[in-house]
């Protein structure tokens, strides 16, 4: 049952580097309540710098930071700096625009 599964959170790029330098894991399994939590709330709990996050991938789809993360979701925080064409093709730019 998905409600029993933790969300799997990953950090990419600069966020990966920051966590590594701090001696923190770059992949985290996190239990979320039944109603879920926003990616922004999770980022704050993980002490990720919000001003460095352009978008979040949730289950392979680019989303804004106000997207609700639920149990069993696979999540990746994407920092600014992803090469231009890829930002558009993957929907990162659009998700980042909705986060502001």
Q: Which domains does the chain have, with CATH numbers?
A: 2-99 (3.10.20.30)
Task: Determine the number of helices (DSSP H) and then strands (DSSP E) in the chain.
Answer: 4, 7
* Averaged pLDDT of the chain: 86
> Does residue 68 register a pLDDT over 50?
yes
Residue 78 CB-density burial (10 A; 0-12 exposed, 13-18 middle, 19+ buried)? buried
What confidence score (pLDDT) does residue 91 get? 58
Q: How far apart are CA 9 and CA 46, in angstroms?
A: 10
Mean pLDDT confidence for 24-50: 95
For 2-34, the pLDDT digits (tens) are: 668 999 999 988 899 999 999 999 999 999 999
Q: For residue 30, what pLDDT is reported? A: 95
- Residues for the chain: how many in total? 100
**8 class by beta-carbon count within 10 Å (0-12 exposed, 13-18 middle, 19+ buried):** middle
Question: Which stretch of DSSP H or E encloses residue 42?
Answer: helix 39-45
Determine which helix (DSSP H) or strand (DSSP E) holds 16, and give its type and residue range: helix 13-21
Q: For residue 1, what pLDDT band results from cuts at 50, 70 and 90?
A: very low
């Amino acid at each position: 049952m998905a409600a029993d599964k933790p969300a799997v959170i990953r950090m990419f790029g600069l966020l990966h580097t920051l966590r590594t330098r701090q001696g923190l894991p770059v992949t985290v399994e996190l239990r979320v309540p039944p109603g879920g939590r926003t990616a922004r709330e999770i980022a704050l709990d993980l002490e990720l710098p919000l001003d460095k996050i352009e978008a979040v991938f949730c289950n392979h789809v680019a989303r804004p930071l106000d997207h609700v993360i639920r149990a069993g979701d696979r999540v990746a925080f994407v920092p600014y700096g992803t090469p231009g064409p890829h930002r558009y093709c993957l929907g990162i730019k659009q998700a980042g625009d909705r986060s502001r």
